[in-house]
Every structure is written in C-alpha cells, then in structure tokens.
Amino acid sequence: MTAPHLPATSVSPAIDPGWDPAVCEPLIERLWALRRQMTALADRHADRLAAINPAHQAGARNLLHYLALRSGDLRPLQLELSRLGLSSLGRAEPHVLASIDKVLGLLHRLNGRDWTPRDPDEPVGSRASTQALQRHAVALLGRTPPGRDVRIMVTLPGEAAADPGRIDAMVQAGMDIARINCAHDTPAQWQAMAEAVRLAARRAGREVRVLMDLGGPKLRTGPIESGPEVVRLRPRRDELGRVIAPARLALRPAGSARPVGAEADAVLGVDPDWLAPLKVGDLISLKDARRAQRQLEIVERHADGVIAALSRSAYLTADVVLRHEPHRDRRSALHDLPAAQGLLHLRRGDRLQLLPEGLGHEARPVGRGRRAQPASVSCTLPEALAAVRRGDRIWFDDGRIGGVVRKRLDGGGVLVEIGSAREGGEKLAADKGINLPDTALDLPALTAQDLQDLDTVVATADLVGLSFCQSADDVRRLRAELAARGASTLGLMLKIETQRGFAALPSILLAAMEGPTAGVMIARGDLAVECGYERLAEVQEEMLWACEAAHLPVVWATQVLETLARTGRPSRAEITDAAMGERAECVMLNKGPHIMDAIRMLDDILRRMQEHQSKKRPLLRALRAWRGALDGQGAPG
C-alpha cells in the first residue's frame, strides 16, 4: 500500500523558535558574562597560579574556571542550549573555557556573526584535558592492565607480612596498588609486605605500586575492660534441632601452646597429671556456669592432648570442674580461658561518659556506698575533647551509634546521650572511630607518630597517604617533611574524610598541584558520618567533578564490595556501587576473608562498565542484548 503524499509544512516559531536571533542573542550575552567571570577568578588568583607546578598549570586554571562556572544556577541556560541542539555544558569539567567557547562560536555562526577561535586563552581542549588526567594518573598510580582503564587498590591485612603467597594471589587476581595502613602493625611488617608486593609484581611481569597511609589524628575509642572469661560450646543442629555434629573441645596441659589434633571449637588447658591417663571412650562430667549437668566423651587421643565431644550446649568458666568418670575424685580445673573482648552495650537513651583517659567499662548499678555510674570509654586524642560543646553530635563506629553531648564533665570529659542505635542496642568496642561533625577540631594532619613513621614510608612506598587532610596547610606541611627527607617526588594521596576537608577541597587541590604528583581519596565511610548519609551521594559527585576539573586522579574508597569480601556473597546494592566507581581512576577494596573473590568480581565489573561509561559521559556501545528482539531472536549481551 502506497503511503499518502503529505504536503510540505513549516515549523511554527511559536512551537520551535529555532535559531531566531531573538533567542540566540541573549544566550550569547549570558555565555560571554560567564566567560568573563571565569577569567576574572583566575586573574584574582594569579599568585596562587604562580606557585603551581608547571605540569599542573592547565589543571589549576581549569579548576578556577570550573568554580566560577558552578557559582550560579545554570539550569535555565542549559535548558535553552539543549533546545537548540547545542551542548548544555553538562560534561565541561575537564575543559571548561573551551566548552564555553565552542558553544559561543556555534551561536555566533548560527546568527551570522563572525567568530575568531580563542584557543590561546583556553588552558586545555577536550583532547588535551583527557590526556592530562591520564598522564597524571599514570604518574601517581601506575599504568592500568590491558582491557581495564581503572585500577584496583587493595588494603593488605597484617597477616600478609608473613604470607607472601597471599600477596601473590592478590596480584594474580588483579590488584594494581597495595595499600598498607600505618595505623596498624609495625614498620618491619610494612616493609615485609612491600617487599612481597614487588616480588609478586616482578613474577607477574607488571607494575604494582605501594601506598602507605599515615595514621593521622584519628579519633578512636580507648581500651575497655575485658568481659568474663567464658567459652560457649554449641553442637551443630539441623532445622528440627537434632544434633548433626557435636561440639569439639581440645584439652592440653595448662600453659601449653602446642596444637591438638584437627580443628576444635575451643582449646583449653587442664592439669597435666589429670590429662595423662585419659583415653578414647572415657567420659568427663561437669556442671557448667549455669549449673547445668553436662558430659563429654574423649573421641581422639594425641601426643599433646585429647579431643572431647559434647552433644549439648555448655558455658565454661574458670569455676567449672572436670571429673573423670567413674573416678569422680579425679578432678581438674580449667585453665587458659581466653578473655572476652571488652564491649559496651548501648541503647537509645543510655548515657556514656567520653573521657580523656582511663579504662572503659559497662554501666555500673548502685552498690554499697556507690552511686550508679554510666558506661564510660576514653578517647585516643584527649585534646579533641576540649573543643566539644554541649549540643554537639557525636558518632561512633562508622555511624552505627550516635548521640548528643549533654554536658561537660570535670576533668575534661563529656557526657553523651545515645540517640541512634538499632532496636535492642549496639555493642561498642575499643579502637572504633569517633566522628564529631559539629565540632571545629584544630588538629594537625601529621601527628608525632606520623613523623616517625614517615621515615619508613619514604624508604618503602611509592605513594604516601595523608589521613584527615583538612586544609592546604596540611598538604604543604607534608610536602615540607618529605623534602626534608629527600623525597619531594613521592606521590601524595590526600584522604578527604571530614566536612572541613570537603569544604576546603578547592584550596587543598591547588596546594596539591604545587608538587609533581597527587591524587584524592574519597573516604566515603567517614564522609557519610560527617556530612550525613543523605548527603553522601552529592558530596562524592561534587568531589569527582572538582578533581576532574583539576585533572587529578581519584580513588573511590570505603565499603566497596564489603559484604562480598566479608561473607563471600555480594549485595545487589554494592554491585551497583562498584560499577559507579568506574568514573574514578582507582577503586579501593578493604581486607576480608573473601578478598580474592572481591578483586576478581571488581575486575569483571570495571571491564564491563568501561564500555558504557567514561566519567559522566555515557558511551553508546551496541546493545547486543536486544539485537533481533523484535523478531523474537534476542541475544545475550
């Protein structure tokens, strides 16, 4: 059937103004005004620009142009530009002035006006800006492996110092940068890990860099009284409660550290003379800490002890007595019980004393001659408590527990009322992070311990991480310390983890560009607590944009594939989060028992996503999934 002939029509100006001069001229004026704002801001900061390293001059000037561009609401202008089929400046970050000039030039030509290209004014164009960012990323982080444009950083566990095979496996799985956290372990362990990384890299035939993170003035909870020495034994049961495997208890001479047979649920010491005659099939009776009668059967005999099986749950403490049946007069006490980790059980409405020093403890009820006492814990940086004021918010353990300071205490501590915790309460342990988002903490980014550790870092690492970076002065102080150690060219990784650091990011970036190589780590865990979880999405986006404008590489960090690394199974949400990391130059994984699975999955995600996304720009790869779908022949893609 022949389609009917349609008469030619003209587009009504009322529906589509097209390229009418009355539409284009106001846009030209607005863009010229924006351009003048950008160049004026760069001119006002000429002294700052003069201090920038030559390799970063273009990035520093472009950053200033970007800050001027984003100082007002561009959404109405963007909408008008899009209606004309022009760039809406939504991907202008790496080459701001060049993007403005491209649109200005098109508008001039559309309106029949002359346009002279202004390339000499522009720090970088689209090609040069991309090349600059890539060049700086390679200088700081090393080259990417074939087929993947984003690097993978992995935090090494302390055990890796004595297990080079684990590091070999990480490199084989796809690790490009090994992160060593100087807040843990010892200089000897750090050096052992770094040597193992370089050896594994040589065997793999590729470069793997070493980042050493200085501990910084991190606020953490102090030590807490140990809990009661108790061992709980539980047999494995099926869904109907039937025992499918008894609990296994290894008994060895008190004070011994020698292993006994195969795996056991617990290993305890007993009197050596009592242990000696025990043989397979013997029975041992006891009354556990609840006075429940229980019986153990010896199922294995070894040179260094025995394995006993238990088919019912039992709680064992130092007061429990073992009796060798039927010789009930043959008894032994239990020795070498492990001390339980000290924990504070905190519920909404509870009070907690945060003190400059001392051993933390649970809440104490009224006793003879003693008033009730709230739970208490010390702070590893007591000087920080001096700045805390009534009404300030406080968060513990990456935001799991939150409260408000109700009053200051004699001796420099504060009293906190817990207001945020799960139903039923939370447990707070020692060495957990403390965040004070409302408190102006004037703490140096480099502690005395950091300065001592820096001697090992400059002799060992390819990059040094500056934790708790909050100002340009923090960056310059680290540069000065590196220069004093003859390590001016060591790469800097600036960790932004506080509201104050986020607010000062432009100045921090400019200070970073005074040296040869630097990058930014978005420490999303602390930032979420500091800025509020509801703001984290926009905060991390704004940091990505600013760093792209400065042509500085970014590390997407904290809790990436954390559930997978910890449990062996990822959550749906963290898969999407890992994919978002493709817009950075590097993604960081934290340690966990299933870290190899996490490295391999992240490698696969990043390789797939780079075909669809580059920074903010979607890439229109052919969608193989729907090829032939309308003909009933869809294909996997």
- For residue 267, give Cα distances in angstroms to 250, 336, 337, 512: 5, 8, 8, 53
- For residue 243, give Cα distances in angstroms to 133, 237, 263, 282, 460: 61, 4, 18, 21, 53
Each residue's pLDDT tens digit, 137-164: 999 999 999 999 999 999 999 999 999 9
Give the start-end residues of each E strand in 288-425.
293-302, 305-310, 314-316, 321-325, 327-333, 343-346, 351-355, 375-378, 393-396, 401-408, 414-420
Computed over its alpha carbons, how large is the radius of gyration of the chain? 32
What does the pLDDT read at residue 359?
94
Token duo for residue 288: 């556990």
Each residue's pLDDT tens digit, 33-92: 999 999 999 999 999 999 999 999 999 999 999 999 999 999 999 999 999 899 999 999
Considering the entire predicted model, what is its pTM?
A: 0.80
What is the C-alpha separation between 442 and 455, in angstroms, rounded? 25
Half-sphere CA count of 453, side-chain side, radius 13 A? 26
What does the pLDDT read at residue 398?
87
Each residue's pLDDT tens digit, 312-368: 999 999 999 999 998 878 999 999 998 778 899 999 999 999 999 999 999 988 777
What does the pLDDT read at residue 178?
98
pLDDT band at 632 (very low <50, low <70, confident <90, very high): low
> Under a CB-based contact definition with an 8 Å cutoff, are residues 563 and 569 in contact?
yes
What is the C-alpha separation between 433 and 222, in angstroms, rounded? 10
Each residue's pLDDT tens digit, 194-227: 999 999 999 999 999 999 999 999 899 999 998 7
Helices and strands in the chain, H and E counts: 19, 29
Average pLDDT over residues 263-281: 93
What does the pLDDT read at residue 444?
85
What does the pLDDT read at residue 341?
82
Of 151-160, 513-522, 621-630, the one with minimum mean pLDDT is: 621-630
Average pLDDT over residues 460-471: 96
Q: Is 11 a residue whose pLDDT tops 60?
A: no
Pick from 526, 520, 527: which is nearest to 463 by CA? 520
Cβ–Cβ contacts within 10 Å for residue 424, how many? 8
Each residue's pLDDT tens digit, 546-565: 999 999 999 999 989 999 99
Pick from 212, 282, 208, 258: which is nearest to 464 by CA? 212
User: In percent, how much of the chain has pLDDT > 90?
Assistant: 78
